[in-house]
Chains A and B, each alone.
Chain A
């Protein structure tokens, strides 16, 4: 969590479970499959409206698939990842995306394939220099 806070970012999780189910899960130890100690909000989309609004509601089962939305400080969606049910996400990738969008916001650069914090990004006004140096 502190890694997100360092990047001026919150984290919020949503499922179609009730808030009472969330509370029970939050009180269950990690070794028993719980998430005791989890610091970010768990929200209950019990009517499934929000999941439908975000396009992640699986109609047949009534649950939300594993969607991730990166939203900027103005409330605009910057990135979307949606995984079908069996596959989890990657926290490092969420942090990498935050770093990349913040790098772009701060320095006006664009971040090419595989970019991560500490690597050189591309200055749009001088893209040729980047390719000269990095292209294989």
Chain B
């Protein structure tokens, strides 16, 4: 599956780190706001 412009972004909910704490974040949390979502290969490399 892939993503196309003009279509809904696939929903996602993932654990992660937010301001130093472990936290779960969903795409839904950003409804009503713009979002720059980016992927990178590995920690400790450049992004």
Q: Which of A's residues lie within 8 Å of B, judged by CB?
A: 4, 7-17, 19, 21-26, 28, 33-34, 39, 41-45, 50-56, 58, 61, 63-80, 85, 88-89, 94, 98, 101-102
Contacts and interface: CB of A to CB of B under 8 A. Distances in A.
B19 A70 contact: no
Given A8-B33, A10-B34, A52-B1, A17 B39 contact: no
B38 A78 contact: no
A62 to B, nearest CB: 10
Contacts of B35: 9-12, 70-71
A24 B28 CA distance: 27
* Interface size, B (range): 35 or more
Nearest to B4: A77
Interface in B12-31: 12, 14-20, 22-23, 25, 27-28, 30-31
Given A28-B44, A33-B44, A43 B36 contact: no
A77 B34 contact: no
A43 B15 contact: yes
Scoring B1, B23, B25 by chain A CB atoms within 10 A of each residue's CB, the highest score goes to B25
B15 to A, nearest CB: 5
B18 A41 contact: yes
Given A10-B36, A67-B39, A74 B30 contact: no
